[in-house]
Amino acid sequence: MNANTELPGDFGNLPADLKQAIPALPLDAMERVQGRIRAEMDRADRRQRWRSGIIGGVLAASVVIAVVGYALTYAPQRRDLPMVAERPGEVVIDDRIRLAVRSASIAPDVAKPLVRLDENRALFMD
């Protein structure tokens, strides 16, 4: 399959011959073609700018929603917090914890000791 890829001498000037054979367009026809090309390119540019504007607006809205959501969710709520003392040496902290207790006695009522120290003295003495 040895194909001869060389062109004969007549085809050496083919591109130049074809270019000379094509008639030139008149100036008004060239201006019409260029006008249509510019109009199409302008339309494509407007579409691209429109898409960029929409994407930018969506991104800006998502950032605003994220900031507002963070502010409403994670920002400290300061409604019931006491004001800080006006003088630096007098900060008082008062913690109150409420417990639900079944009876007045908190300690369990145990008849035998929890750990039998006398029987297991050998475990912790030398």
Report the distance separating Cα 116 and Cα 126, nearest Å. 18
Average pLDDT rounded to a whole number, residues 70-93: 66
Q: What integer pLDDT is reported at residue 4 of this predicted model?
A: 57
Average pLDDT rounded to a whole number, residues 3-10: 60
Domain boundaries, the chain: 25-76
Beta-carbon contacts of 25 under 8 Å, excluding residues fewer than 6 positions away, are 33
Given a cut of 70, whether residue 87 has pLDDT beyond it is no
**Contact (Cβ atoms closer than 8 angstroms) between residue 92 and residue 85:** yes
Average pLDDT rounded to a whole number, residues 74-81: 62
Q: What integer pLDDT is reported at residue 102 of this predicted model?
A: 67
Who has greater pLDDT, 110 or 86? 110
Q: What integer pLDDT is reported at residue 54 of this predicted model?
A: 94
Model confidence band, residue 52 (pLDDT cutoffs 50, 70, 90): very high
Evaluate if pTM is beyond 0.75. no
